Amino acid sequence: MRKSNTEKLGQVLRQYIEENKLQHKLSEVDIIASWEELMGKTVASYTEDLKISNGTLFVKTSSPMLRNELMMMKEEIRKRLNEKAGMELIRQIIFR
């Protein structure tokens, strides 16, 4: 009788992600995809070109007034995003 080397697909994927240190990248993608849900439709409609690089979230805004408001809420936004990610992913936010 042959020995079975079966594992659940979820376990294999989790192991692959951990071994290749992909969790941060996947969390970055999730944060950007969840931007509208986290910030609301109005804010999302005035923001674009979100990207994360070395722990810094870059957000382009089309409204100077909104940019000023978001800058005042920067720490609260950072905490909300990190809570969604389940880790300290975002260290800084830059609004342009």
Residue-wise pLDDT tens digits, 57-84: 999 999 999 999 999 999 999 999 999 9
The pTM of the full predicted model, rounded to 2 decimals, is 0.79
Please report, in tens digits, the pLDDT of each residue of the chain (96 residues total): 555 566 788 887 777 777 666 788 888 999 999 999 999 999 999 999 999 999 999 999 999 999 999 999 999 999 999 999 999 999 999 999
Half-sphere exposure of 51 (CA within 13 A, CB side): 5
- Beta strands in 1-96, from DSSP E residues, in sequence order: 47-53, 56-61, 92-95
Say how far apart CA 93 and CA 58 lie, in whole Å.
6
Closest CA to 70 of 92, 52, 43: 43
Say how far apart CA 42 and CA 45 lie, in whole Å.
5
Ordered by where they begin, the domains of the chain are 23-95 (3.30.300)
